[in-house]
With several copies, the nearest count.
Chain A
Amino acid sequence: MTNPDVPEGSVVDIEAHTRNLRIVEAVLFMANEPVDQAVLAAKLPPDAAVEDLLAELSAHYQGRGFHLIRVAGKWAFRTAPDMAFALSEQAKEQRRLSRAAMETLAIIAYHQPVTRAEIEDLRGVSVSKGTLDVLLELGWIKMRGRRKVPGRPVTYGTTEAFLLHFGLDALTDLPGLDDMKAAGLLEQGSVGPALPRLPGDELTATEEPLDGPVEPDEAEDDSLSMKRDAAE
């Protein structure tokens, strides 16, 4: 049997080659830190092609549970990055939204579809891009489309993940103002505009499709929030 990784050679050559590979493996196995090629060379016969041995091993461990990688010019076995989950108990970290983020989420939930400028208008303060990013990253809000107004601002709405997290079957399960008053969540006598009718996922008459990627800075580029951010 011939080893396809080894160039044509005598049986002795192949044996020596295998042995050299094994030495490199063993030394790297026992190393706590990445190993310099020179250190490996010192363990091998003088005629060994360390570079080739490392390349061959590196290829061999590709796609296995741990890889032979080159870090900072040295060599080390490292567990495959996608195996991290299996290596130790994943810690659970409990997190809560900030007050501002929760308020923004609530406004989006009750007033969707809503643009950033509209949220700012409703809240009376600027909405930092970070707040929307947090909510987008949690997957609780999404960009629905664009408002059919000059500047075509992006409209936001809640997602299915939002419903799932808050245990809602549909947006219409969100309690109305009267329910909130009855539950003491809204002060008696507090009035204001009636809640808008909540839309489904289909775009409303005032929206149009996103069509094309949203510039990362787009949510940031309305002059109003720029001014407010500067003033903060």
Chain B
Amino acid sequence: MNAAVPEPGFDTQERQEDSGLIVDVDGFEGPLDLLLTLARNQKVDLRTISILALVEQYLAFINAARQMQLDLAADYLVMAAWLAYLKSRLLLPEPPGGPEPSAEDMAARLTLQLQRLELIRGAADRLGALGKLGVNFFFRPEHESPKPEPVIVQTDTLYDLLRAYGAYRGKRNPPRLSLVKARVFAIEDARHRLERMLGLLIDWNRLDAILPVLAPEPGVRRSAIASMLTASLEMARDGDLEIEQGGAFAPVFIRKRLIPRGEPAEQGEAIP
């Protein structure tokens, strides 16, 4: 197809004029249109159609049609062949019991077809006569809807409120650091106690049996044990005390060192 050929499906001014020239003032287009008109002119009775007149009109039409659109002409040629065949069937005696439909049937079918086509043409005309959008009536042109103000949803939660208040209170009243004095039994106290008790420690004594009387808190007792042990070790180092422990986690025993300073301690003496 080249650009000069009109787009199929649409009527162009040129083509309408052309078809006007070729066909008829009514502007029919298809082969059945033509046949319909011809058949009407011949009072529909195809038996009485003059083949000669038919063929002449076809040839005249096809000749003209061929110049503008081969496609159209081809349709008409098929139709012409079919019509000629039908006409011959009508004129010739019927072949006996053949599988082909009878000529009368074919004619009846053709008549029915013509009626249907006429109805369709009428329907197309009525459809075309309806008011058309963009010609006879219009919807409003595209337009923008005014945007309503958005609904504002506050997402603040009670938690946010309380956290804000907590932060405010914390900012305005910062927590004061007050150091609570630790309740401990100091090493110096332990040493002092041991030194005072030294005269009483002639025999082996369990270290935990000579703890001072203390506040009931458990931490204080632990600190007393630790301090007493450390003080005993110090005094043992100084040669004032002897320390014995039977094994890991066994009770620790202490006693006053009987041997004067500088001499090695007795070995192997049994723990009572």
Contacts and interface: CB of A to CB of B under 8 A. Distances in A.
B154 A101 contact: no
A106 to B, nearest CB: 4
B123 A124 contact: no
Interface in B211-265: none
Interface stretch (A41-49, A54-62, A174-182, A207-215): A174-182
Interface in B70-105: 70-71, 74-75, 78-79
Interface residues of A, number: 70
Contacts of A133: 8-9
Interface stretch (A1-9, A147-155, A189-197): A189-197
Contacts of A187: 166, 170, 174-175
A164 B135 CA distance: 12
A109 B152 CA distance: 22
A91 B135 contact: yes
Contact of A96 (B11, B113, B145, B174): B11
Interface in B41-80: 70-71, 74-75, 78-79
Contact of B9 (A32, A135, A174, A190): A135
Interface of B: 7-11, 15, 27-33, 70-71, 74-75, 78-79, 113, 115-117, 119-124, 126-143, 145-158, 160-170, 172-176
17 contacts: A30-B140, A33-B139, A77-B140, A80-B137, A90-B141, A94-B153, A97-B154, A97-B160, A100-B30, A102-B124, A103-B165, A105-B164, A107-B120, A122-B168, A124-B31, A135-B9, A165-B134
Given A92-B151, A95-B154, 14 more contacts: A32-B141, A84-B148, A97-B154, A101-B8, A122-B120, A124-B79, A125-B31, A164-B133, A165-B134, A166-B130, A166-B132, A166-B156, A168-B158, A186-B166
